[in-house]
Amino acid sequence: MNITIVNFKGGVGKSMIAHQLISGFGFRGCEIDPYGSLSDRVPEKVERVDIQAKHLAMPREETIFDFGGFDDIKLDQAIEFSDLIIIPFIPTLETIQGTLDTLIRVASFDKPILLVPNMSQKENDIQDAKFVFEDALGYEVEMFSIPMSIALQTAINENKSIIDLSKQSGIKAYAYKKSAKIIRDLYDTIRAYESK
């Protein structure tokens, strides 16, 4: 299974999700982001694609395409190779337009799309965003919410899978276990698209 993670708006959690799927579930990574650090963090599992490159190689293993906040021909190729498009976003007014632009751009490929409200705090904000997206597209969209989590940020800072961190003992393990369950549920949600 191949996945493209994209949003033209930066800072919405694309690389965090890619990092957790790669470090926790064995995906390979393809970083298409000149400002990204995923290939530096996990160099044995992630290949960085030069911004000037015109073509992506067909993946030979399950791959996450971590796409930076821009649009070019490589996005078309990544989507063509992918079974699912994940669009993370922060459910605030400031990020909705960029997310909507991304959603409209990728919807024409007729691939399944999973919207991921990240660092979500208010259910009403998520529902408002869902209304805007569905109104623009004319059909229902699926969402998987990731609440605000210091544990996930810690996992990125420590360059570890939240799954591995959740296996620790002590008081920190509780927060890690809660976030690890969310990432496992996200993985299960992603896998459900294999049979759709």
The model's pLDDT over 57-105, given as tens digits with 9 standing for 90+, comes to 999 999 999 998 888 899 999 999 999 999 999 998 778 888 999 999 9
Whether the predicted pLDDT of 51 surpasses 90:
no
The DSSP code sequence of 15-81 is HHHHHHHHHHH--EEEEE-TT--HHHHSTTTEEEPPTT---PPPPSS-EEEEE-S---HHHHHHHHH
Highest mean pLDDT of the ranges 51-55, 96-100, 112-116, 121-125: 112-116
Does residue 196 register a pLDDT over 70?
Answer: no
CB atoms within 10 A of CB 94: 8
CATH number of 3-195: 3.40.50.300
For helices 172-192 and 150-157, the axis angle rounded to 10 degrees is: 90
pLDDT of amino acid 95: 83
Task: Say yes or no to pLDDT of 4 above 70.
Answer: yes
83 contacts: CB under 8 Å, gap ≥ 6: 1, 2, 3, 111, 112, 193, 194
What is the tens place of the pLDDT at every residue in 138-179? 999 999 999 988 899 889 889 999 999 999 877 778 889 999
